[in-house]
């Protein structure tokens, strides 16, 4: 065995299992860590499974890009919710979650050594995928409210840049980007001949009247905009592994090569469940997101007690808050102390590329309100004690 290092040595280790191990060693810990929802898929998702089971041909491979009934349902959803029409310049590919959609996109548009622009704080799996592909993440800061800085993005583009990535509503900050900023970034991508990768996994999770904006709906953007979506969050579908991507038609062959090699086809049973989920009554999403919005209010009220100890940025989307903690302490060390001494878990900001300062991501979507309230109270008390 030779000693040459694998490309994986350059890739950061996923933080969720690391924090999970700390939680396991501290029984009774409440986790404000992982970004999932507390509720289950709609009944309609489960009700469609017998249809899958009753057709023996469903045990065979199906189309790489997804089963036709699901593609049709997604076409309708994109039109009605996102304002995006399927035309001869774009197409849908069903994926095993939107993380796979991101990897499909990176492998389809890059060569080794190319650059992808990420806005910090970034979503850690994006940075990991870019590095795995032998490409270079180029990090561009956001402003003090974690909003995009289009001029800085434009200045970071080189002849090796292949795409700019935006996430709105954002993970890890919870902020929602304005239509004006997204249009500006999308236009920069058009002018420079690069792609705009828009991750919209949290598209339904917006609050206080804020509206979700899809860059794929901008006029003339079909040929250079890649949009990523997921059923994991809104439909309580995390383990079913179904997402989808809207891509320029000219990338379809390349994306299918990637997907056929890694997956062959998205799990067909999960595609049937997804088809059922998309037929859920309107009150399924409305009521569940209303409950999360109520939990969000509890979290905001508790976090406000940390004024002076933390900078708490307003966030109108997803189910996260991103705290800047006024301390010289290492973020992971602070996370360890919160778990071991106060039995509450959050995620360190270093995982999201924030090396200068101490940051914590607080997730509130995975818990029932009473548990979330107890967890956030532990976090507030823990930070007050540790930082005093």
**Does domain 43-277 correspond to CATH entry 3.40.640.10?**
yes
pLDDT for the residue 34: 83
Task: Residue 146: name the closest of 320, 289, 14 by CA.
Answer: 320
Q: What is the mean pLDDT of the chain?
A: 96
**pLDDT (mean) for 31-55:** 95
- Say what the pTM is: 0.96
Query: Three-state SS string across 326-342, please?
Result: CCCCCHHHHHHHHHHHH
How would residue 16 be classed by pLDDT, with cut points 50, 70 and 90?
Answer: confident
Q: Over 70: is that where the pLDDT of 301 sits?
A: yes
> Which string of DSSP letters, residue by residue, matches 169-215?
S-TTT-----HHHHHHHHHHHHHHT-EEEEE-TTTT-B-TT-----G
**pLDDT (mean) for 357-384:** 96
Q: Judge if 9-41+282-387 and 43-277 fold alike in CATH terms.
A: no
pLDDT for the residue 7: 86
Encode pLDDT of 179-217 as tens digits.
999 999 999 999 999 999 999 999 999 999 999 999 999
For 9-41+282-387, the fitting CATH number among 3.50.50.100, 3.30.230.10, 3.90.1150.10, 3.40.50.170 is 3.90.1150.10
Residues 6 or more apart in contact with residue 302 via CB below 8 angstroms: 373, 376, 377, 379, 380
Q: Name the residue ranges covered by the structural domains of the chain.
A: 9-41+282-387, 43-277
pLDDT for the residue 1: 60
Encode pLDDT of 61-91 as tens digits.
999 999 999 999 999 999 999 999 999 999 9
């Amino acid at each position: 065995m030779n000693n040459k290092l694998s490309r994986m040595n350059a890739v950061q280790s996923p933080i969720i299992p690391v924090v999970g191990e700390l939680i396991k060693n501290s029984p009774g810990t409440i986790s404000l860590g992982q970004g999932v929802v507390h509720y289950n898929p709609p009944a309609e998702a489960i009700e469609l499974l017998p249809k899958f089971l009753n057709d023996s041909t469903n045990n065979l491979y199906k189309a790489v890009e997804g089963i036709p009934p699901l593609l049709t349902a997604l076409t309708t959803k994109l039109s009605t919710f996102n304002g995006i029409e399927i035309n001869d310049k774009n197409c849908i590919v069903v994926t095993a979650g939107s993380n796979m959609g991101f990897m499909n996109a990176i492998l389809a548009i890059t060569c080794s050594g190319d650059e992808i622009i990420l806005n910090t704080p970034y979503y850690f799996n994006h940075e990991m995928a870019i590095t795995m592909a032998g490409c270079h993440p180029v990090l561009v800061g956001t402003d003090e409210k974690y909003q995009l800085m289009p001029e800085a993005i434009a200045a970071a583009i080189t002849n090796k840049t292949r795409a700019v990535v935006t996430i709105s509503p954002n993970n890890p900050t919870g902020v929602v980007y304005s239509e004006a900023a997204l249009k500006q970034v999308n236009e920069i991508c058009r002018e420079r001949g690069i792609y705009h990768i828009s991750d919209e996994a949290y598209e339904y999770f917006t609050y206080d009247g804020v509206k979700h904006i899809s860059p794929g709906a901008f006029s003339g953007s079909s040929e250079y905009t890649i949009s990523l979506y997921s059923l994991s969050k809104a439909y309580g579908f995390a383990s079913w592994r179904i997402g989808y991507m809207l891509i320029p038609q000219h990338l379809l062959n390349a994306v299918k090569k990637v997907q056929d090699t890694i997956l062959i086809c998205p799990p067909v049973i999960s595609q049937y469940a997804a088809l059922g989920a998309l037929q859920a009554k309107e009150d399924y999403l409305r009521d569940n997101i209303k409950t999360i919005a109520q939990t969000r209010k509890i979290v905001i009220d508790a976090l406000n007690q940390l004024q002076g100890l933390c900078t708490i940025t307003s966030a109108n989307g997803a189910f996260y808050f991103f705290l800047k903690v006024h301390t010289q302490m290492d973020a992971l060390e602070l996370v360890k102390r919160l778990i071991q001494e106060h039995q509450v878990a959050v995620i360190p900001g270093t995982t999201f590329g924030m090396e200068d300062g101490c940051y914590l991501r607080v997730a509130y979507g995975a818990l029932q309100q009473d548990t979330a309230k107890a967890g956030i109270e532990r976090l507030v008390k823990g930070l007050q004690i540790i930082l005093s």
